[in-house]
């Protein structure tokens, strides 16, 4: 069995409640209701346990984490223990004083998701009227509070033509970093894959735009790029390896090796506060299932890249091949690779179906 080192970070999903309805949401299709959420006390206990375990950072996410009225208290709990705090937000729920309160509580960084570089695209995807203007105003309050700002732009066929405008928008909002993040297809995004899949030519054009901008804006704006798996030759090292770097905690305290791990049917998950984070990190069968490289079959088992990408993404292997232990089909060496590319070509050329928007009940009907 692979003995894990300390986790680098925690993804704390504080709530599944959200004012937006993005059709590629990374939350599970069975969304949790508010009455299942962990208490403030339990999150403060988690902050202590995470720090004791050696975690260096926490990503406070959701749903929309700013809907938790105790968010400042939770941030202070992590900050007190020297854990770097990053807020992942849609930026439509807090006012100026709210942003300042979080900064005072010890918040270190804000990651703001924007669904389109144009107002109409942001509204089409998030289904929140006036959302674009609210997000831009919010970005100003973040900078005013002295906090570093990352703009997260999830990319798909409805906004892939806006990549150059996203770069201009990030500059206009005085962001430090922009993530051009091609949508990853699990959960809600898998359900909406046909509606979201971009064409290969559009993907190639965005790569050129990003590469040119990176050169032009070196030292001004950092641009991260999450590759579109369905058109890739090699997979990404998802989560930095299963059970290697990150602990994800769902709103009800279920502890997961990654945010989409519940899409893998034969894994059993444990919960806080019933067990400690340390017990789960080292002892949970779900965390140990794909740790290290011993679980791998061919072609990964004898591949020189296996310590670089860890066989790619388990959740994508599950979604596309039906077996989470398979090589990620994004890999050119996978026997399922051609099938994945064919799916992308076919879906991207078909008229986009309507979105199934993220809301309670819509994904499980």
> Which of 83, 125, 300, 344 is close enough to bind ligand SF4 by CB under 6 A?
300
Whichever of 67 and 286 has its CB closer to ligand FES, that residue is: 286
Candidate ranges 100-108, 138-146, 258-266, 273-281; the one touching ligand FES (CB under 6 A): 258-266
Residue 100 touches ligand SF4, criterion: CB under 6 A: no
Find the binder of ligand SF4 among 51, 90, 267, 331 (CB under 6 A): 331
Q: Is 261 in the site for ligand FES (CB under 6 A)?
A: yes
Residue 260 as a binder of ligand FES (CB under 6 A): the answer is yes
Residue choice 64, 162, 229, 309 for contact with ligand SF4 (CB under 6 A): 309
Q: In what order do the strands lie in the sheet with 109-113?
A: 222-226, 177-182, 149-155, 109-113, 84-89, 57-61, 9-13, 246-249, 254-256, 270-271
Q: Which two tokens stand for residue 214?
A: 């990176």
Report the alpha-carbon distance of residue 314 to residue 295 in Å, rounded.
Answer: 12
Q: Which of 45, 299, 323, 356 binds ligand SF4 (CB under 6 A)?
A: 299
Count of residues engaged in binding ligand SF4, rule: CB under 6 A:
14
Q: Rounded distance, CA 256 to CA 202, Å?
A: 34
Closest CA to 205 of 169, 171, 155, 170: 155
For residue 269, with 0-12 CB atoms within 10 Å meaning exposed, 13-18 middle and 19 or more buried, which class applies?
middle
Three-class SS state of 223: strand
Residue 46 exposed, middle or buried by CB count within 10 Å (0-12, 13-18, 19+)? buried
Verify binding: residue 333, ligand SF4, rule CB under 6 A: yes
| CB 343 to ligand FES: min, Å | 18
Pick the closer one to ligand FES by CB: 13 or 162: 13
* Among ligand SF4, ligand FES, none, residue 313 binds (CB under 5-8 Å by kind): ligand FES
Rule CB under 6 A: is residue 255 a binding residue for ligand FES? no
Binding mask 301-320 for ligand FES (x = CB under 6 A): ------------xxx-----
| Nearer Cβ to ligand SF4 (5/304) | 304
Residue 28 binding: pick among ligand SF4, ligand FES, none (C-beta 5-8 Å cut-off by kind): none
The full DSSP string for 137-179 is HHHHHHHHTT--EEEEEEE-TTTGGGHHHHHHHHHHTT-SEEE
Closest residue to ligand SF4, judged by C-beta, is: 303
Binding-site size for ligand FES (CB under 6 A) equals 9
Q: Does 303 bind ligand SF4 (CB under 6 A)?
A: yes
Using the rule CB under 6 A, which residue among 4, 222, 225, 234 binds ligand SF4? Answer: 234
Residues 315, 286: contact at Cβ < 8 Å?
Answer: no
Cα→Cα distances 283→4, 271, 289, Å: 10, 12, 11
Q: How far is the CB of 159 from ligand SF4 (least distance, A)?
A: 29
Contact flag: residue 326 with ligand SF4 (CB under 6 A)? no
Alpha helices in the chain (DSSP H): 40-53, 71-80, 96-105, 119-126, 131-144, 163-172, 187-191, 193-196, 200-216, 277-283, 285-289, 306-309, 314-321, 337-349
Angstrom distance (rounded) from CA 155 to CA 231 = 14
Nearer to ligand FES, 199 or 234 (CB): 234
Q: Which is nearer to ligand SF4, 275 or 306 (CB)?
A: 306
* Cβ pair 364, 30 in contact under 8 A: yes
Can residue 258 be called a binding residue for ligand FES (CB under 6 A)? Answer: yes
**CA-closest candidate to residue 58, choices 9, 6, 112:** 9
Q: Is 167 in the site for ligand FES (CB under 6 A)?
A: no
CA 324 vs. chain centroid, Å, equals 19
Q: Output the smallest distance, CB 314 to ligand SF4, in A.
A: 11
- Catalog residues that contact ligand SF4 under the rule CB under 6 A: 234-235, 299-300, 303, 305-306, 309, 311-312, 327-328, 331, 333
- Catalog residues that contact ligand FES under the rule CB under 6 A: 186, 238-239, 258, 260-261, 313-315
């Amino acid at each position: 069995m692979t003995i894990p080192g300390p986790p680098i970070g925690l993804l704390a999903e504080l709530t599944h409640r959200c004012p937006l309805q993005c059709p590629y949401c990374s939350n599970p299709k069975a969304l949790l209701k508010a009455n299942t959420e962990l208490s403030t006390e339990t999150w403060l206990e988690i902050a202590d346990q995470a720090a004791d375990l050696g975690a260096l950072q926490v990503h406070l996410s959701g749903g929309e984490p700013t809907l938790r009225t105790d968010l400042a208290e939770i941030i202070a709990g992590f900050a007190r223990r020297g854990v770097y705090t990053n807020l992942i937000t849609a930026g439509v729920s807090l006012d100026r004083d709210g942003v300042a309160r979080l900064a005072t509580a010890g918040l270190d960084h804000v990651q703001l998701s924007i669904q389109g570089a144009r107002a109409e695209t942001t509204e089409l995807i998030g289904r929140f009227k006036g959302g674009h203007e609210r997000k831009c105003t919010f970005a100003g309050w973040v900078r005013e509070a002295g906090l570093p700002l990352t703009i997260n732009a999830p990319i798909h066929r409805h906004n892939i033509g806006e990549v150059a405008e996203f770069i201009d928008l990030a500059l206009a909002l005085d962001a430090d970093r922009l993530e051009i993040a091609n949508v990853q297809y699990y959960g809600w995004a898998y359900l909406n894959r046909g509606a979201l899949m971009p064409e290969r030519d559009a993907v190639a054009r965005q790569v050129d735009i990003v590469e040119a901008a990176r050169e032009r804006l070196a030292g001004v704006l950092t641009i991260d790029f999450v590759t579109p798996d369905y058109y890739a030759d090699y997979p990404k090292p998802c989560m930095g390896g299963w059970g290697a770097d990150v602990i994800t905690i769902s709103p009800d305290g279920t502890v997961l090796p990654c945010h989409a791990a519940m899409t893998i049917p034969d894994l059993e998950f444990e919960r806080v506060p019933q067990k400690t984070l340390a017990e789960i990190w080292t002892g949970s069968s779900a965390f140990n299932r794909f740790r290290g490289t011993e679980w791998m079959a061919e072609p990964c088992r004898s591949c020189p890249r296996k310590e670089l990408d860890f066989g790619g993404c388990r959740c994508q292997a599950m979604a596309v091949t039906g077996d989470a232990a398979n090589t990620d089909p994004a890999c050119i060496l996978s026997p399922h690779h051609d099938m994945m590319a064919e799916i992308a070509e076919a879906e991207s050329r078909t008229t986009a179906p309507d979105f199934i928007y993220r809301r309670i009940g819509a994904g499980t009907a």
